[in-house]
Amino acid sequence: MSTVHLIPATADLPDRALGAKVAALFRAADLGRVFRKQDLAAIKLHVGEPGTKTFVRPAIAAALVRQVSAVGAKPFLTDTAVLYRSPRDNAVDHARVVHEHGFDLERVGAPFVPADGLIGADEIEVAVGGRHFDRVAIAAAIMQARSLLVLSHATGHLGTGLAATLKNLGMGCAARKGKLRQHHGQTPHIDAAGCTACGTCAEWCPSDSITVEQHARIDPATCLGCGECIAVCRDGAVEFGWGIMGRELQERVVEHAAAVVRSKRGRLACVTVATSITKDCDCMGKAQKPLLPDIGLLASDDPVAIDQAAWDLIRQRAGRTLESMSYRSRDGQVQLQYAEELGLGSRRYDLVTVDG
């Protein structure tokens, strides 16, 4: 049985008070044992899509940076490029969002380093032996970091029902190829009207599956489904479907999470923010109203236990499940059950409330 620590908190706390709660939680959960002197320590977070207002506050990240630095490690903030058209689909514009949302070096105390490089293609293939994948593509810096703190925001999610630590580990730590395999699993196609016939996609295609005449064409017989063409196209002409949802999407996400968790045994810490809990995740570029009153901050070294605790606490506080308030056709327990089956943690936990 794992232990999950909870400290009550609300989203409207002043930065100083919020930072004090983070420090108390970090110490109570003894998260400092995860880090060593001189570790390049990744703090994986979501800085929020432009337009959303309820992403994790920079004050929380800053407090965690101070705690990790005090151990002697060298923390850096990190995230990966998204598949859809967004300012977060490349490292340059992503860094601008980081600054605009208050996660810059001066305010947080650690630099932002894109985990998957300039265009989301810096990856390391990792064997997982899962139900859907033998190998998965994980962002290179996530695998190279000696230790990892996963800072997540508990919300609903269109495809998975629950978006928290496992989703942050699996979808959030995947390189662009990994995200494509999770969501699509088929051959991308070219929007002829948007294609400028520049030839960049063909130049970078590892299987020479793209030819360019009036516009690019992808040969489905030889395409690897790697997503390289999506990464390099700056005209948004390479498209794909979001056809995989529900149970299968959750299992695919968990198999990517497995690659990260297994690489960080004893070197993984999880902090989940259970305030401003919204219907959709922070990728939605819109302001959202919380679905229920704020709960607080959770910490554990077990990604399964902390997600189960967040799910349970939401149900207790709201009197109903998160999915019933967001996407009724989803069941977030699927990802927890499969993650436990793969040995990533336990759904059984002791909840310890920290006096803040």
Rounded to a whole number of angstroms, the distance between the first and last alpha carbons of the chain is 24
pLDDT tens per residue, range 16-27: 999 999 999 999
Given its phi and psi angles, is residue 130 left (phi above 0), alpha (psi -120 to 50 degrees) or beta? beta
Q: Give the per-residue pLDDT at 111.
A: 98
DSSP 302: -
Number of Cα atoms under 13 Å in the Cβ half of residue 39:
28
In this prediction, residues 74-90 reach a mean pLDDT of 91
Burial label, 262 (beta-carbon count in 10 A; 0-12, 13-18, 19+): middle
Dist. CA 34–CA 147, nearest whole Å: 7
| Nearest partner of 232 among 251, 210, 260, 252, judged by Cα | 210
Digit-coded pLDDT (tens) for 295-304: 999 999 999 9
Question: What domains lie within the chain, and their CATH numbers?
Answer: 2-175+244-353 (3.40.50.11440), 187-239 (3.30.70.20)
pLDDT above 90: residue 84: no
**Does the pLDDT value for residue 191 go beyond 90?**
no
Task: Please compute the mean of the pLDDT values over residues 206-218 and round it to a whole number.
Answer: 88
Q: What is the pLDDT of residue 241?
A: 64
Structure tokens at 63: 């407090």
The pLDDT value given to residue 284: 86
